[in-house]
Amino acid sequence: MIPGLLILIAYQLVGELISYWLNWPIPGPVVGMLLLLASLRLGAVLWPRGWLVATETAGKALIDNLSLLFLPAGVGIFFLPDHIQAQWPAVLAAIVLATFISMVLCAILLRWLSRHHD
């Protein structure tokens, strides 16, 4: 567990530094994720074998409780400034209607693509 957390922290730190130095719009954790994926794909893992298992353990614990990790930030929707609350029709249009339309469009595209894929 601890080595796993160390690896995740190391990748995120490198990601943060790259994102900062190159002045990239991609957030540090995302750069870290892409770097970790690249390392795993290429088999270029410089740490001991057991540490990979520890990373899996730590990663699973975090991903299994992903919802909990964004709960505090999510509470914000109940404390919006008044001028945002006044725009509830726009918020609903984006969350409900736009999401449904986008799902339907993706589904139509996938049906078309699958027909040509298989």
Partner 1 sequence: MTERATGLLLIGATLLAYQLGLLLYRRAARRVWLHPLLTGTLLMALLLTALNISFAEYRQHTLLFDQLLGLATVALALPLHREFHHLKAFIGPVTVTVIFGGLVACATALGLAALAGGSHELLLALAPKSVTTPIALSIAEQLNANTGLTTGVVIFTGILGALMAPLAFRVTGLQDPRSQGLVLGINAHGVGTARAFETNPITGAFASLAMGLTGAFTALWLPATVQALTRGF
For residue 76, the minimal CB distance to partner 1 (Å) is: 2
Residue 43 · residue 91 · CB < 8 Å? no
Closest CA to 10 of 27, 24, 37, 29: 29
Longest dimension (CA), the chain: 55
Closest to partner 1 by CB, 48 or 85: 85
Closest to partner 1 by CB, 9 or 17: 9
Closest to partner 1 by CB, 48 or 69: 69
For residue 64, the minimal CB distance to partner 1 (Å) is: 10
CA distances from 88 to 23, 28, 79, 83, 98 (A): 35, 32, 13, 10, 14
Beta-strand runs (E) in the chain: none
Residues near 47 by beta carbon (within 8 Å), at least 6 away in sequence: 3, 7
Closest to partner 1 by CB, 48 or 87: 87
For residue 9, the minimal CB distance to partner 1 (Å) is: 7
For residue 55, the minimal CB distance to partner 1 (Å) is: 7
